[in-house]
Amino acid sequence: MGGGSVKELKSKAELEKTLAEKTTVILHFWASWCEASKQMDQVFSHLSTDFPHARFFRVEAEEQPEISEAYSVAAVPYFVFFKDGKSVDTLEGADPSALANKVAKVAGSVTADEPAAPASLGMAAGPAILETVKDFAKDNSKVESHSPGTGNGLKLRLEQLVNSHPVMLFMKGSPEEPRCGFSRTVVDILMKEKIKFGSFDILTDDEVREGLKKFSNWPTYPQLYCKGELLGGCDIVTAMHESGELKEVLLDHGIEASDSSKAEATEPGMGKGGISEASGLSADLNSRLDSLINSSPVMLFMKGEPDTPRCGFSRKVVDILRQEKIDFKSFDILTDDEVRQGLKVYSNWSSYPQLYIKGELIGGSDIVLDMQKSGELSKVLAEKGIPNGITLEVRLKQLITSSPVMLFMKGTPDASRCGFSSKVVNALKEEEVEFGSFDILTDEEVRQGLKTLSNWPTFPQLYYKGELIGGCDIILELKSNGELKSTLSE
């Protein structure tokens, strides 16, 4: 049965019936709160038009836990590809080109008479998807009048951004919809102080996100600036607010409290963590939720127990906390509907799991995973005085041995960010060698630490059973001599 459109998958039984037909099936696991899911769904819809003989289904991950659990879905967007009734591939994350590649691989060319399209997609892709990928890239590039890719260009852009408003907040999300508890706290403080401020969502621009850490020599977010000077992050702003110093510093810089509608728009009725006093939560429930959140320095509200998670998102956060050797307590929200529904209002966060550190909401599965990959989770814990039992050396050794063949590269196998990494990926694929990979551009601590641990100053680096094989030149030489596959299978 030809598709040509995306359908909602309502049950596991419906999926099993579809797979029994032995057709090509692609699932998109998504969540209504995830912006990346919405953007990728546009690409997914166009692909369904370009590949009408495949069946395309959308699965709301949290509403279909049985299906999500069956395919180990721990973050969205997430895609699963089926051929002849069997799962043959997966894709995690918002990567339009990789999605188009994988769909083309499993579904074949757009038409029987047309060859696979070249260009950046590398596989078959019709005009609709090509146009959508261009739009997606344009929407996410955040191009301004600066020279991307050059140190001076980025520095100039950052200087322009930090000086774009007298008070400027770099945060996760927007003032109306903060994506982490620390950002929400600083927004609330500025609202209470009735301070006009500009903001920039660092989740929308990785170049700014990483560049500003070095520019300011401040490794975490949010970051608050006054007249181009960094004041600090959440803890410092909170302490300044409580002592009255924040108002004094702003006055010293000629910035006074404002009675504008912007400053007061979300002020009335707002309490701790963005809690609305008019939310309908009773004082007893508020008190109970506050007590639960603060019952442990690190507190996870999840579906199920740490040893028996009831959803992939909860399992992912548990795995991350255990990998980082962080002591934590948990609460199974499936056992108490009053807590389950009340906490959504209390935290202004509509889904689970929810992770709190020292009473502050960090976020859900996607944010915690992102913080782990960037090293920000460890830094936040250190700032909060919470010991992390894992050293960098132990973490590096865990990464090196996480797959028998492990490649540390710039970018991902489907989207290499340097020619040397791309050459090694191609060599491994041509030799049909299965391998794991780690994008060193996402974690500066791993990037620098691995150079020291391996005594190898450049990337990519390829490891076999925990031992360094070498970089690009050595891998290509081994392949040229016909020794690569045997070296990686001894």
Superfamily name with CATH number, domain 164-253 = Glutaredoxin (3.40.30.10)
Helix ranges (DSSP H) in 232-364: 234-243, 245-252, 261-264, 283-293, 312-323, 337-347
> What pairs with residue 173 in β-bridges?
178
Closest CA to 392 of 444, 357, 438: 444
The residue assigned the tokens 């994506």 is 179
The secondary structure of 355-376, three-state, reads EEECCEEEECHHHHHHHHHHCH
Taking CA atoms, 144 is separated from 35, 152, 377, 410, 434, in Å, by 22, 14, 30, 25, 40
Q: Give the whole-angstrom CA distance, residue 107 versus residue 299.
A: 44
CB 352 within 8 A of CB 301: yes
Specify the CATH architecture of the domain 285-384: 3-Layer(aba) Sandwich (3.40)
Q: What is the mean pLDDT of residues 388-399?
A: 76
Superfamily name with CATH number, domain 393-488 = Glutaredoxin (3.40.30.10)
- Matching fold, domains 164-253 and 285-384: yes
Q: What is the mean pLDDT of residues 460-475?
A: 93
Listed range (112-121, 145-154, 284-293, 326-335) with the worst mean pLDDT: 112-121
Q: Look up residue 236 and give its amino acid.
A: I
Q: What is the pLDDT of residue 4?
A: 55
- The residue with greater pLDDT, 92 or 116, is 92
Q: What is the mean pLDDT of residues 256-277?
A: 42
- The residue with greater pLDDT, 429 or 119, is 429
> What six digits make up the tokens of 458?
């450049």
Enumerate residues 6+ apart whose C-beta is below 8 A from 386. Answer: 297, 298, 326, 357, 358
Q: What is the mean pLDDT of residues 269-292?
A: 63
Residue ranges of the domains in the chain? Answer: 7-107, 164-253, 285-384, 393-488
* Cα Rg, the chain, nearest whole Å: 24
pLDDT over 90 at 7, yes or no: yes
Task: For 311-341, write each residue's pLDDT tens digit.
Answer: 778 888 999 998 888 889 999 998 998 999 8
Task: For 8-61, write each residue's pLDDT tens digit.
Answer: 998 989 999 999 998 999 999 988 777 778 888 888 988 888 888 899 999 988
Q: What is the pLDDT of residue 259?
A: 55
Please tell me the CATH code under which domain 7-107 is placed. Answer: 3.40.30.10
Structure pTM? 0.43
